[in-house]
Amino acid sequence: MPGSHSNLGPQSQSSWLILVIALVCGTQSKESLSDVEMLSAKPNRCTYARAYDMYGAHCGGLQLTRIPSLKPGIEILDFTENRLRELKADTFSSYSSIRFLYLAENAIFIIDENAFSPLYYLETLDLSRNAIMSVPSGLFQLPSLRNLYMSGNALIYLDRELQSLQRPIKAPLENLDLSDCRIDSLPNLGVLPQLRMYNASQNRLSSLPLARLAETCNLWKMDLSGSIDNIDLCELKPTIVWMDQNRIIFNLDNYARINTYEFGNCPAIVPETINTTYSACKARYIEGRNGRTSRQTWLTICGGLAGFLVGFILILYLMHRSNVAQTKRAIKKKSTTPSNNENYSKEILLNVK
Ligand SMILES: *[C@@H]1O[C@H](CO)[C@@H](O)[C@H](O)[C@H]1NC(C)=O
Ligand SMILES: *[C@@H]1O[C@H](CO)[C@@H](O)[C@H](O)[C@H]1NC(C)=O
């Protein structure tokens, strides 16, 4: 219909106006509502940020029961304070780039044997305050794992799991937190040459064999507060003397027990096997350090070579370019000189004529 537009009467025009106003007001009120929401409620989905030159996902405190689909390539995953119950074999299979994984304060109690296997680059794992009774022994073979925090779990089946552990472990553990884990002895992880900080506090240990300590030949600090009150004094003596001799800082909540006459009178017999254990730990430490330095040396050499090659290729390329340019110039000259020659020969011809 040709006149349909002009047929819009003043009535319908005003209703359009009302609609537009309503729309504008609607969006505005929606906006102010979301502002209020933003101020009052936490975000309900994971956020992404860069920290220490790494890409990380932050999903803390979102009441999530499973790890949602995340952007690939994340190196940090903060999933603390959620409701995760299970770590399945494929939970982390898409996130093998993770280096720092924080899972504290969830409700984790089932961990698949292969849950951590994809995490080749994992350096720090925080499993504190969950309901974990054991961790798969494969965790201790992750080649980059330096910090392991498991405080506040009842690790009552850990010893059983570790029966199949291959020792020495591959993880270069530096910090190990097993505080408040209801263990009655320190787990047998074999030599731990890189270990600096061991937190075994609040555990009510029934023994503290010197052999375990000798396996940690670079230990700097050991927290034993609330853990050794049940151990016989004379059984404790060699370990305490050893820690003292090796300048290991140890925390006890009650030093009165080892300042008694009774403790002083206990014999401090060090079994002969201890030196062997200690030497094995030291040897592995040196081996690891040499490995690292030789890797570094190789990296430097390879880097130097690569740099040299790149420079060499660049020079070749530049030479090639200038050659091409020269040839082109030469060709141009040649293509212009014949015409000169022609003119010249024409001139000669003219002169001859
Ligand atoms: C060891 O763990 C306990 C409990 O988690 C904590 O209070 C304490 O500060 C830790 N010790 C050290 C030396 O970090
Ligand atoms: C063990 O090492 C200590 C100190 O390095 C040494 O005094 C002691 O004689 C050694 N014991 C044995 C049985 O070799």
pLDDT tens digits for range 123-137: 999 999 999 999 999
Ligand 1 centre to CA of 128 (Å) is: 12
**pLDDT value of residue 22:** 44
**pLDDT value of residue 38:** 47
**pLDDT value of residue 84:** 97
pLDDT bin (cut points 50, 70, 90) of residue 24 is very low
Q: Closest Cα partner for 126 from 189, 79, 74?
A: 79
pLDDT bin (cut points 50, 70, 90) of residue 296 is confident
**pLDDT value of residue 43:** 63
Residue 346 has pLDDT above 60, yes or no: no
Token pair recorded at residue 73: 């390539």
Residue 14 has pLDDT above 80, yes or no: no
- Relative to the CA of 251, which ligand 1 atom is closest? 13
**Nearest ligand by distance to the CA of 180:** 1
Strands 47-51 and 54-58, sheet pairing: antiparallel
State the Cα–Cα distance between residues 250 and 348, nearest whole angstrom.
Answer: 109
Task: Give the residue-averaged pLDDT of 24-36.
Answer: 44
Which CATH number does the domain 47-285 belong to among 1.20.120.160, 3.80.10.10, 3.30.413.10, 3.20.10.10? Answer: 3.80.10.10
**pLDDT value of residue 223:** 97
Ligand 2 centre to CA of 238 (Å) is: 13
Residues 52-82 pLDDT 10s? 899 999 999 999 999 999 999 999 999 999 9
Counting ligand 2 atoms within 8 A of each CB, the residue from 275, 276, 282 with the most, and so the one to mutate, is 275
pTM (two decimals): 0.76
**pLDDT value of residue 41:** 53
Nearest CA to ligand 2 atom 2: 275
Strand ranges (E), 42-196: 47-51, 54-58, 76-78, 86-87, 100-102, 110-111, 124-126, 147-149, 175-177
Percentage with pLDDT > 90 across the chain: 64
Residue 120 has pLDDT above 90, yes or no: yes
Highest mean pLDDT of the ranges 31-45, 119-133, 276-290: 119-133
pLDDT bin (cut points 50, 70, 90) of residue 15 is low
**pLDDT value of residue 1:** 43
Pocket of ligand 2 (CB under 6 A): 272, 275
Integer Rg of the chain from CA: 37
State the Cα–Cα distance between residues 66 and 4, nearest whole angstrom.
Answer: 58
- Ligand 1 pocket, residue 153 CB under 6 Å: no
Task: Give the residue-averaged pLDDT of 236-262.
Answer: 92
pLDDT bin (cut points 50, 70, 90) of residue 271 is confident
**pLDDT value of residue 52:** 87
Residue 325 has pLDDT above 90, yes or no: no
Q: What are phi and psi of 184, to 5 degrees?
A: -105, 0
- Relative to the CA of 275, which ligand 2 atom is closest? 1
Ligand 1 centre to CA of 179 (Å) is: 7
Residues shown for the chain: 353
**pLDDT value of residue 330:** 79
Percentage with pLDDT > 70 across the chain: 82
**pLDDT value of residue 59:** 96
